Amino acid sequence: MARPDDTLEKLTAASPRGLLEELARIGAALAKLERARPEVEVFLASGQALRGRIVRVEEERGGHIALLHTAGPPRNPSVAYVRVDQIAAVTVSDASVLVHAPTADAPVPSRLELSRQLVARNDALAGALGRPLLITLATDANDDARRALGLALPLVTDVLTAVAGDVMGKEALAPVMAIELGGATGLEVYFEDGKQKLVLRVPTVLTQPLSHARLRATIEALL
């Protein structure tokens, strides 16, 4: 059995294009927090090798071009434009980013701190619904989940209040007696116990940003 920290056992094979596209997506999330993009070395069919940080992969004139930041600061960078169909192999300097998606650097709130925030923010939702509604923290909420909830809680409560403030939304939420909040790799919204419990798990990784529009659309699609 693989150890929980065994990155090699969790990696999957990918084509150069698919790998670089995934790394570029991760890099974009890291760059927003002023963290370094993933570093790669690409080996071309011609025998040449280039090292740099992957910025993006774009389609151009029937082919795909990878943009590598090879040197210099982001403001005045040296870059290489590489035809993806000429890449024979890719080395990833830190492949753990493909398994352990990057998370925010924000402090991890305690369960007690989050519970207090939930109580403080529940009044607006209860007012929109015209009745009290139990909001709890998932028992499996680990550090990453609590960190994500600490950042997303104002957005989550604002969206739920907005949904409840609409006549049709209020009617759709009528069977719901409790809401459970947790974290997951991607946004998850589903019912348990029929429709008595609404489970909402916010993204814990930077590559799955949460927005008001996305969260509301996901909740309303379920309702």
Of the three residues 98, 133, 167, the one that is the final residue of a domain is: 98
pLDDT computed for residue 62 by the predictor: 78
pLDDT computed for residue 220 by the predictor: 93
57 and 127 housed in the same domain: no
The full DSSP string for the chain is: ---TT-HHHH-----HHHHHHHHHHHHHHHHHTT-PPPEEEEEETTS-EEEEEEEEEEEETTEEEEEEEEES-TTS-EEEEEEGGGEEEEEETTGGGGTS-----S----HHHHHHHHHHHHHHHHHHHTS--EEEE-TT--HHHHHHHHHHHHHHHHHHHHHHHSHHHHHHTTT--EEEEEEESS-EEEEETTTTEEEEEEE-STTS---HHHHHHHHHHH-
122 and 205 housed in the same domain: yes
pLDDT computed for residue 1 by the predictor: 44
pLDDT digits (tens, 9 = 90+) for 96-138: 888 776 666 678 899 999 999 988 888 889 989 999 889 999 9
193 and 163 housed in the same domain: yes
49 and 93 housed in the same domain: yes
123 and 88 housed in the same domain: no
Q: Decide if 81 is inside a domain.
A: yes
177 and 124 housed in the same domain: yes
pLDDT computed for residue 2 by the predictor: 47
Of the three residues 98, 126, 147, the one that is the final residue of a domain is: 98
pLDDT computed for residue 110 by the predictor: 92
pTM for the model stands at 0.64
118 and 216 housed in the same domain: yes
Residue 76 sits in a domain whose CATH number is 2.30.30.100
Residues of the chain with pLDDT under 70: 1-5, 101-105, 207
Domain holding 165, by residue range, is 111-222
